[in-house]
Amino acid sequence: MCVNRQKIIIDTDCGSDDAMAIAMALNDERYEVIMITTVSGNVRVDQATYNTLTTIRVTGSYHPPVYIGRNDMLKRKWEGSDDTHGIDGMGDIGLIDYSLKADEGDAIDKIIEALNGNPEKAIDIITLGPLTNIATVIDKDLNALKRARRIVMMATPGTASGNVTANAEFNVWQDGEAFDKVINAGLEDLTAVGWSACLDEAMLDEKEIETISKSNQLGAFLIKANKTLLELNETRFGNKCLDMADPSAMAAALLPECIKESRNCHLEVNLNDDEYYGEVYIDYVKKPNITLVTELKDDMYTEYIMSTLTKNR
């Protein structure tokens, strides 16, 4: 195990692809997950917490504290993603242990405490869901958030079409006000990994899915949890495959050399209450406010997934 591991905080609305991303981080010995915070998105925050705790238990690596965050979006009404991840976010196959309990304390306060209690630029934050918790941290203590070394978010369609409306990606569409607050907070090292990064050749194919499923208990758990997404993708893409949005963001954060295409740009999000809510646009005139990752090196990315998920304990 690495002695000087990079500390990370994971913020998640834990659905089936979040679970895979969390397991990847817990199995990468170069990093230490010092806490996981939960937020509503794919499912409500309590369900996201159960899903997170179950994932930690099945991964069998170590158990970072888990803190419950925001249940409601900043302004919009919450809507889940039943059609993608199931009602419980994990394929509705009965994997959730509701006896598992989160740690005492509010996620927002715990993020601030960790950032202020560690040396500046010591902690990375990786977000896998809507930015509601991070936006709330900004409102409460922006200077604390600026102490993070970097923030990597699964957000925006990248160069693809939207996955919830024609041109809007789920995490931004769920709470556009939160995303807007984060990208305009003046944070120095902010990265969004777009949905396009997990598409095409980066999708897990049938052989890779089978390899993960048969590798160990964790692999079987993760593929079972993605049952609803697998069924959706057979209709959407015409074959058995998994577009792993959150694992692609986790890979970009933990293995940045797997990034193939990215650009520094200025993003703006439509916050009008209309059919275009949550769409993100690039302003080519304004000063960049984010790095947008649009494509990963497929082989390196999938090899990283395999190396972190299929190891035997």
Q: d(Cα 14, Cα 260) in Å, to the nearest integer?
A: 26
pLDDT tens digits for 166-199?
999 999 999 999 999 999 999 999 999 999 999 9
| Average pLDDT along the chain | 95
Give domain status of residue 153, yes or no.
yes
Give domain status of residue 180, yes or no.
yes
pLDDT tens digits for 11-23?
999 999 999 999 9
Q: d(Cα 153, Cα 13) in Å, to the nearest integer?
A: 12
Q: What is the mean pLDDT of residues 59-71?
A: 97
pLDDT band for position 236 (cuts 50, 70, 90): confident
For residue 195, what pLDDT is reported?
97
Say whether pLDDT at 104 is over 90: yes
What's the gap between Cα 258 and its chain centre?
17
For residue 2, what pLDDT is reported?
58
Assign 303 to helix, strand or coil.
Answer: helix
Say whether pLDDT at 43 is over 80: yes
- β-strand partners of 263: 292
Of 86-95, 201-210, 213-222, which range is least confident? 86-95
Domain encompassing residue 55: 6-309
Say whether pLDDT at 312 is over 70: no
Say whether pLDDT at 292 is over 90: yes
Say whether pLDDT at 313 is over 60: no
- β-strand partners of 262: 293
pLDDT tens digits for 259-282?
999 999 999 999 998 999 999 999
210 Cβ partners below 8 Å, 6+ apart? Answer: none
The beta-strand segments (E) located in the chain are: 6-12, 31-38, 66-68, 123-127, 150-154, 190-193, 259-269, 280-283, 290-296
Domain with residue 50: its CATH number is 3.90.245.10
Give domain status of residue 296, yes or no.
yes
Give domain status of residue 53, yes or no.
yes
For residue 158, what pLDDT is reported?
97
Q: With CA atoms as reference, report the closest residue to 269 among 167, 121, 160, 190.
A: 167
For residue 161, what pLDDT is reported?
94
pLDDT tens digits for 111-141?
999 999 999 999 999 999 999 999 999 999 9
Q: With CA atoms as reference, report the closest residue to 51 among 96, 4, 111.
A: 96
Q: d(Cα 283, Cα 2) in Å, to the nearest integer?
A: 41
Q: What is the mean pLDDT of residues 25-31?
A: 97
For residue 99, what pLDDT is reported?
85
Structural domains counted in the chain? 1
Q: What is the mean pLDDT of residues 289-312?
A: 94
pLDDT tens digits for 90-99?
999 887 777 8
Give domain status of residue 126, yes or no.
yes
Give domain status of residue 1, yes or no.
no
pTM: 0.97
**What percentage of the chain reaches a pLDDT higher than 90?**
92
